Amino acid sequence: MEKPELKQFGDLTHEDFDRHPVWIRCHVADYDEPWYEDTDEETFRPRTGHLPAHASEGMLLVQATLELGDGSRHPGFITPALKPGDLGTQQPQIFAGGRSFGFWGGMFGVPIEERQSLYAALERKPDDVFPLRFSVDPALATGNTSGQVTGFYRLAAGTQSAQIEL
């Protein structure tokens, strides 16, 4: 394979997903490629091959539609999961205001400034945003590719459960 377009996770744009609706993380999928040394754990490339892609292929980022609580629809992307309801894997991202925003904050949560930036970019209040639903066109990927987000998630200290913040 000749060297493909390589993008860091944080640099992916709505336009990138318009051009290539499925991206794959290079760090595992391409370890035998001569350009592998140009990648790290945050590097993705367009996935080639027949669609739909399957969640078992590696870490995929797949174009998705996110429908806010007020019914408005916005572009975004998710990672298909092998288990239903696995928001920690799916980690939906929404494009707004020229950037992407996530809802999964791990142990530290999503900072309040980031949450406020999302509301400002969407020109919406929390009650207009949540609950939001996300889904992927079944022609793009299989696995668990839909779900619901009811706020910003933070892993509760000392547990495997998530706490929700608005």
pLDDT, tens digit (0-9, with 9 covering 90-100), for 144-165:
999 999 999 887 766 556 666 6
- Domain extent at residue 84: 7-165
Nearest to residue 91, comparing CAs of 19, 149, 48?
149
Note the pLDDT tens digit of each residue in 8-34.
999 999 999 999 999 999 988 998 999
The residues of the chain scoring below 50 in pLDDT are none
| Alpha helices by DSSP H, the chain | 14-19, 26-29, 87-90, 112-122, 126-129
Domain count, the chain: 1
**Percent of the chain scoring above 70 in pLDDT:** 93
Asked whether residue 93 is domain-assigned, the answer is: yes
Asked whether residue 120 is domain-assigned, the answer is: yes
pTM of the model: 0.92
Asked whether residue 106 is domain-assigned, the answer is: yes
Asked whether residue 76 is domain-assigned, the answer is: yes
Asked whether residue 1 is domain-assigned, the answer is: no
Asked whether residue 2 is domain-assigned, the answer is: no
Asked whether residue 100 is domain-assigned, the answer is: yes
